[in-house]
Amino acid sequence: MDKLIREFLEYIELERGHSPLTIRNYEAYLSKFADFAKENGVSSVEKIDLGLIKKWRLTLHRRELANKTLNYYMISIRSFLKYLSKMDIKSLAPEKIELADTPERQINFLEKEEVERILAVYSGSGLLEVRNKAILEVLFSTGTRVSELVNLDIDQVNLQRSEFSVLGKGGKRRVVFLSDSARDALQQYLDKRHDQDKAVFIRVVTVREEDKQKETGRITTRQVERIVKEAAKRAGIVKQVSPHSLRHSFATDILRSGADLRSVQGLLGHASVTTTQVYTHLTDKHLREVHRKYHNQKEGNDHANAH
């Protein structure tokens, strides 16, 4: 089993293009399952059955894991079994593993007025303020993940066309688009740069003795998270705000403006439209208002015409 798990991890790295974080998580989940299986007399994949899976699920449940976390364990096993099936190695059918019910995913997004307040926070002319404004503008304009943003290189950006390409999950590349304000903010920031670093967004350190700001390499995801959090605080927004909140806000904004689900899926880089559908309930209120306005108007006109 250990050998096949290693081969599976190599497969999802080389053939499926999963991120290093995903591979590490799968390795951790499957290693724990393999140890549990051996403790229960199962050392080969042929002997994996629903009884063993049920016992493992019960063990995890008794550790008071949330259903969401428990599902991660089950998903890793199911993916492993799918790989075994693909390789014609006899084992339990992956579709026999069911996932636990989880609460509907809560999407933390910002209303338009809140986004405007956050984007207006960094208004200074220094490199740090200009960089931070560009980060916020780009996150909201493109809906990129924070990991995609920090890995962005200057040669991927085409300011004339107001677009750039990002390498998303699964090694899939897509093109995202800059609004006029995001393009201008990014241009202003890049014009202020005097370094040779290939990264679009870099760390900036203030050298106190000289009272100057020094560029020191690619920015990290944690730093971007702090920048967004500080912006929300300055804007007087009390709810939790993260870079992903701006991604959610981007998706909600374009859906409410009339974009179709497939287009939003492409812009966000979702492998499946099912993932994108999580945003549709956010627009329900907006759609109800549209329905009430136009449907009632039609009924009113019809009623008037009848008389």
pLDDT(166) > 50: yes
- List the catalytic residue out of 57, 183, 247, 248: 247
One DSSP character per residue, the chain reads -HHHHHHHHHHHHHTS---HHHHHHHHHHHHHHHHHHHHTT--SGGG--HHHHHHHHHHHHHTT--HHHHHHHHHHHHHHHHHHHHTT-----GGGPPPPP-PPPPP----HHHHHHHHTS---SSHHHHHHHHHHHHHHHH---HHHHHT-BGGGEETTTTEEEEE-GGG-EEEEE--HHHHHHHHHHHHH--S--SBSSEEEEEETTTTEEEEEEE--HHHHHHHHHHHHHHTT--S---HHHHHHHHHHHHHHTT--HHHHHHHHT-SSHHHHGGGGGGGHHHHHHHHHHHHHHHHHHHHHHH-
The more confident residue out of 109 and 291 is 109
Query: What is the Cα–Cα distance from 88 to 90, expressed in whole angstroms?
Result: 6
**Residue ranges making up the domain that contains 190:** 112-283
Q: Which of 40, 36, 22, 30 is nearest to 4 (CA)?
A: 30
- List the catalytic residue out of 32, 82, 117, 169: 169
pLDDT score for 207 = 54
247 catalytic? Reply is yes
Which of 63, 96, 129 lies at the terminal end of a domain, its last residue? 96
CB contact at 8 A, 117 and 236: yes
61 catalytic? Reply is no
The more confident residue out of 142 and 275 is 142
- Same domain for 48 and 162, yes or no, is no
pTM: 0.63
Q: Give the range with max mean pLDDT: 111-115, 188-192, 215-219.
A: 188-192
Query: What is the Cα–Cα distance from 57 to 169, expressed in whole angstroms?
Result: 28
pLDDT(141) > 60: yes
- Same domain for 87 and 127, yes or no, is no
- Same domain for 124 and 251, yes or no, is yes
Question: What angle do helix axes 2-14 and 20-39 make, rounded to 10 degrees?
Answer: 170
> Is the alpha carbon torsion for 23, 24, 30, 35 positive or negative?
positive
- Same domain for 55 and 183, yes or no, is no
- Same domain for 130 and 277, yes or no, is yes
Q: Is residue 207 part of a domain?
A: yes
Q: Is residue 101 part of a domain?
A: no
Looking up residue 279, the CATH number of its domain turns out to be 1.10.443.10
pLDDT in tens, 58-105: 999 899 888 888 999 999 999 999 999 999 999 999 999 988 775 555
270 catalytic? Reply is yes
pLDDT score for 99 = 83
Provide the token pair at 192: 């202020």
Burial class (CB in 10 A: 0-12, 13-18, 19+), 235: middle
169 catalytic? Reply is yes
pLDDT(225) > 60: yes
- Same domain for 150 and 264, yes or no, is yes
- Same domain for 12 and 154, yes or no, is no
Task: Say how many domains are in the chain.
Answer: 2
Q: Is residue 38 part of a domain?
A: yes
- Same domain for 6 and 39, yes or no, is yes
- Same domain for 31 and 144, yes or no, is no
Looking up residue 28, the CATH number of its domain turns out to be 1.10.150.130
Q: Is residue 301 part of a domain?
A: no
- Same domain for 117 and 71, yes or no, is no
pLDDT score for 48 = 95
Which of the four pLDDT bands, split at 50, 70 and 90, describes residue 284?
A: low
Q: Is residue 105 part of a domain?
A: no
Query: What is the Cα–Cα distance from 56 to 278, expressed in whole angstroms?
Result: 30
Beta-bridge partners for 177: 163
> Is the alpha carbon torsion for 273, 104, 101, 61 positive or negative?
positive
pLDDT score for 271 = 81
- Same domain for 85 and 116, yes or no, is no
Mean pLDDT across the chain, nearest whole number?
Answer: 86
pLDDT(109) > 50: yes
pLDDT(49) > 50: yes
- Same domain for 74 and 170, yes or no, is no
- Main-chain phi, psi angles of 203, to 5 degrees: -70, 150
Which of the four pLDDT bands, split at 50, 70 and 90, describes residue 235?
A: very high
279 catalytic? Reply is yes
Q: Is residue 213 part of a domain?
A: yes
Q: Is residue 117 part of a domain?
A: yes
- List the catalytic residue out of 78, 133, 145, 248: 145
Q: Is residue 41 part of a domain?
A: yes
pLDDT(303) > 80: no
CA 107 to mean position of chain CA atoms: 12
